[in-house]
Structure 1
Amino acid sequence: MTDDPTKLPSGAGKVAAAYPEIWSAYADLGRACSQAGPIGGQTARLVKLALAIGALSEGAVHSHTRRALEEGIAPDALKQVALMAIPTLGFPQAVRALTWIEDITNAKG
């Protein structure tokens, strides 16, 4: 999560710019949650992607996919997270998530 509203998607960036105190508190909460236990690095990013898929949040899936690629996680690993959703969330949701991931991975080349 970034503290810089200019690096956020349009909706989140507008909220962050209009309500910087709220955005700062939200960013602090995100950091605190990430640091609350031993999970870190690429594993934490994949967990966050899985949670975004389960929450049916296209924007969050896009965001976590972009950040995962920046952190060096292979596109195939991201796609596997979507496929692993099949038994729990169902085939349609997993395919939906796969297309959201591919929106970003295909755009990156």
Structure 2
Amino acid sequence: MKDDLPGAAGDLARQHPDIWSAYSALGAAAAESGGLSDREKRLVKLALAIGAGSEGAVHSHARRALDENIPTADLNQTAFLAIGSLGFPRAVASWTWITDVTEP
């Protein structure tokens, strides 16, 4: 998995496998700590990336969602739901980051 990671995350994973291993284990434990479905977990992670304003994380979670056969309309709705709590500009920015991945 760490050989598939882009950019700085991939560099860190390859150069510091002990840190990557601990980070991965924490993520796995958090993912298994409740009853959310894989689909729900992916959409929550996308929403968190939107809330954090992280373009790279939005791209990553949108790509993974598509790989998991989550419809583009659901990804867009996740961005649109940000309008009320995060504001129109953040929601629109996030939507454009999702379309970076979903449109050719």
TM-score by length of 2: 0.96
Q: CA RMSD in A?
A: 0.8
Tell me how many residue pairs correspond in the alignment: 104
Partner residue in 2 for 1:16: 13
Partner residue in 2 for 1:56: 53
Q: What is the percentage of aligned positions where both structures have the same residue?
A: 54
In structure 2, give the amino acid aligned to 1:13. Answer: G
**Which of 70, 73, 79 matches 2:70?**
73
In structure 1, give the amino acid aligned to 2:28. Answer: R
Flag structure 1 segments of 5+ consecutive residues without an equivalent.
Answer: none
In structure 2, give the amino acid aligned to 1:99. Answer: T
Flag structure 2 segments of 5+ consecutive residues without an equivalent.
Answer: none
TM-score by length of 1: 0.92
Partner residue in 2 for 1:83: 80
Runs of 4+ displaced beyond 3 Å:
none
